[in-house]
């Protein structure tokens, strides 16, 4: 019989099957019409297995050097392990050792994305906090829009994959596969909405006001008592469609003007408690890396998640405002950390 160089994948699978059935190497060689030595060599190599990796001892880092690394890491949170060790004049440390040392004192996290605050922003935030410090926030309606895509945030599609298992396959689509714009509000322990912005509609001043008329005013506000309407304070951020002269005049005709329309400081998403509600909803609809195939399906998921948010959760968010304002004042206009 002729001798070939290498066994094919199919032949290797057959050898394993034959061995499981109790066949000898000689019998397998005859069945596959291969040289007996080739079969024996494959069986011997398979039984030897993979050599265990020998762990090399770590380069010893002194306590003084460890302190320098810790200080450098706190000053350079987005730097690589190499850059951190080089700034401490510590050389000759392999990457695995550097990472192991840093893992003992820190963990890898993404940088938080926030609008930049300049001196003017901080002063306006302080003035706003002083103005509303004695406000009864149970009477404030906090509103905002949110966009949800079919795919959700890329960084959330991570999980623990067992050894030998393949990671699940995710669809990859431009702009997250498209999305839906959602508007909602919270007041005291009540959720207003959510309401869906019509697909393809860009919210300018006119379309924003028409949207409020068709949803918020007709479906919720008109059902409230005169006393409630008299005491309610309407909050919206400084998006162009919100803060325009057209929108301000339109809300004034609806009775929402002067002290009933809350002024809003620039670059302050951390002061709006509904942002935390959006986080709760997104964590629910995108859990376990879930993706959606249609705009209607992701909208239905938002509605279902919103229904699961109970009044106590909303009340916790609205009652956090006093702490947020005090934090802004304590940080001289800086971010509240909420």
Report the predicted TM-score, pTM, of the whole model to 2 decimal places: 0.69
Does 279 have pLDDT greater than 80? yes
What are the CA-CA distances from residue 208 to residues 197, 233, 259 (Å)?
9, 19, 21
- The neighbouring-strand residues paired with 261 are 234
Strand 140-149 relative to strand 190-196: parallel, antiparallel, unpaired? Answer: unpaired
Does 163 have pLDDT greater than 80? no
| CATH architecture assigned to 119-155+177-331 | 2-Layer Sandwich (3.30)
Mean pLDDT in residue range 90-115 = 81
Give the Cβ contact number of residue 322 at 10 Å. 13
pLDDT in tens, 305-328: 999 999 999 999 999 999 999 999
**Which pLDDT score, from 0 to 100, does residue 58 have?**
61
DSSP for 287-333, please give it.
GGG---SSHHHHHHHHHHHHHTS-HHHHHHHHTTHHHHHHHHHHTTT
Determine contact, residues 76/83, Cβ cutoff 8 Å: yes
pLDDT in tens, 27-70: 988 888 888 888 888 888 876 655 555 556 666 788 898 999 98
What is the rounded average pLDDT for all residues in the chain?
A: 88
């Amino acid at each position: 019989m002729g001798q070939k160089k290498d066994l094919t994948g199919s032949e290797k699978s057959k050898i394993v099957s034959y061995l499981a059935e109790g066949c000898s190497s000689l019998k397998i060689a005859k069945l596959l019409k291969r040289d007996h030595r080739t079969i024996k060599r494959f069986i011997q190599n398979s039984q030897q297995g993979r050599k265990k990796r020998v762990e090399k001892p770590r380069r010893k880092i002194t306590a003084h050097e460890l302190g320098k690394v810790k200080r450098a890491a706190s000053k350079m949170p987005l730097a690589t392990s190499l850059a951190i060790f080089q700034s401490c004049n510590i050389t000759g440390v392999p990457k695995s050792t550097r990472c192991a040392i840093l893992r003992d004192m820190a963990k890898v996290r993404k940088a938080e994305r926030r609008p930049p605050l300049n001196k003017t922003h901080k002063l306006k935030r302080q003035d706003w906090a002083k103005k509303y410090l004695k406000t009864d926030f149970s009477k404030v309606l906090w509103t905002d829009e949110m966009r949800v895509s079919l795919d959700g945030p890329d960084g959330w599609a991570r999980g623990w994959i067992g050894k030998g298992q393949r990671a699940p396959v995710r669809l990859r689509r431009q702009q997250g596969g498209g999305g839906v714009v959602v508007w909602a509000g919270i007041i005291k322990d009540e959720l207003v909405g959510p309401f869906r912005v019509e697909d393809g509609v860009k919210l300018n001043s006119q379309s924003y006001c028409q949207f409020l008329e068709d949803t918020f005013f007709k479906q919720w506000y008109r059902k409230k008592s005169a006393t409630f309407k008299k005491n309610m304070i309407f909050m919206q951020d400084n998006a162009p469609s919100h803060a325009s002269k057209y929108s301000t005049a339109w809300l004034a005709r609806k009775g929402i003007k002067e002290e009933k329309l809350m002024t809003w400081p620039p670059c302050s998403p951390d002061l709006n408690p509904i942002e935390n509600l959006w986080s709760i909803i997104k964590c629910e609809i995108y859990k376990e890396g879930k993706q959606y195939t249609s705009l209607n399906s992701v909208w239905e998921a938002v509605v279902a998640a919103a229904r699961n948010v109970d009044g106590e959760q909303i009340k916790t968010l609205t009652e956090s405002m006093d702490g947020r304002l005090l934090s802004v004042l304590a940080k001289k206009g800086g971010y509240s950390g909420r």
